[in-house]
Amino acid sequence: MSVRVGILGATGAVGQRLVELLAPHPSFEIASVTASESSAGATYRDAAKWRTGSPIPDAVANVEVVPTEPSAVPDDVSLLFSALPSDVGARVEPAFCEAGYVVSSNASNERMADDVPLVIPELNADHLALLDVQRAERGWDGALVKNPNCSTITFVPTLAPLSEYGLERVHVATLQAVSGAGYDGVSSMEIVDNALPHIGGEAEKLETESRKLLGSFDGSAIDHHDVTVSASVNRIPTLDGHLENVWVETDDDVTPEAAAEAMAAYPGIDLHTAPDPFIEVLSEPDRPQPRLDRNRGDGMAVSVGGLESSATGGLQYNCLAHNTIRGAAGASVLNGELLVDRGYV
């Protein structure tokens, strides 16, 4: 039985990735696509100006785009994927939840709210039960679950396998692709033959979301992890795939070999969109590279390479994930699958 789903903000870069992932999905059926008021009434084909390298799925091309409001979405849709900008998300996501919809959202609003689970299924699926607290507190029939920022998703999975050694401090430098800013987020004149050592609000997301993701849920609240993370973020002229340089200091010593083994052995999760393996540890010193490794696991795997001991103590290595798949649309879809699996939809 297919679950009828909707996509909020379906015409942008992440929205189009959601369409790509959901159209062929065996358990979801796209029943509604929403966009801003100005696109409402148009077919999805006309509204989206489809800009990925694959053809626009037939099942969606001629669907009429509706405005992003609960009354416009059919009642038999039970699960919504949100690719809204955070300011729009902040305004309308609660209304959808209030109206009974379960929302798996990529938007950054409320990611750090106490009663909103921030989930990477392979890492902290148990945090999803925070939804019971959320429903009780907010009086919602629906529910709101978030996936983290694309740059957070890239490196936090590599920390989880090291947590048994006692995570103390992390330095992370990101080399982020332009698609992370959306279709019109970075102009060509800004980035051709250039790099931008700043993305507004991004460093803070890496520093705070990581602690929530690695935290523990005691049945009523998330106890954030006390690891200290310092991030330096950069935009570079790549299309997809965030590459990150990581240094990790732990309480107990960990050799590069032990770390590689722990990462490679870190279990995935048995859901349709989840990759297997979850983390791919590469032995070539010059990998992972955005163009060569971003599509591992159909864009859902996290790649690691260059593992070695750092002169400053601890480990250093590089990691990479596809920012609009594992880091955005795929993350939301996987959370949607988890919501179904755990009975919230």
Interface residue with its own copies, options 1, 24, 37, 55 (CB under 8 A): 55
Does 15 bind its own copies (CB under 8 A)? Our answer is: no
Contact indicator for 105, 82 with CB cutoff of 8 Å: yes
Does 260 bind its own copies (CB under 8 A)? Our answer is: no
Does 37 bind its own copies (CB under 8 A)? Our answer is: no
Show contacts with its own copies in window 273-312 (CB under 8 A): 285-292, 294-296, 305-306, 310-312
Active-site choice (171, 225, 242, 322)? 242
272 in catalytic set? no
Question: Closest separation between CB of residue 128 and its own copies, Å?
Answer: 28
Q: How many residues sit in the footprint of its own copies (CB under 8 A)?
A: 60
Locate tokens 């990529």: which residue?
106
Does 91 bind its own copies (CB under 8 A)? Our answer is: no
Phi and psi for 115 in degrees, rounded to 5? -110, 20
Interface residue with its own copies, options 76, 193, 218, 252 (CB under 8 A): 193
How does DSSP assign 61-108, residue by residue? HTPBPEESSGGGS-TT--EEEE---HHHHHHHHHHHHHTT-EEEE-SS
Does 46 bind its own copies (CB under 8 A)? Our answer is: no
Q: Which residues contact 184 (CB under 8 A, 6 or more apart)?
A: none
Does 149 bind its own copies (CB under 8 A)? Our answer is: no
Contact indicator for 337, 147 with CB cutoff of 8 Å: no
Q: Could you tell me the CA-to-CA distances from 165 to 162, 168, 252, 255 in Å, in that order?
A: 6, 9, 5, 11
Residues that bind its own copies (CB under 8 A): 13, 51-55, 169-171, 173, 175, 178-179, 183-198, 207, 228-230, 232, 234, 236-239, 243, 245, 247, 285-292, 294-296, 305-306, 310-312, 316, 318
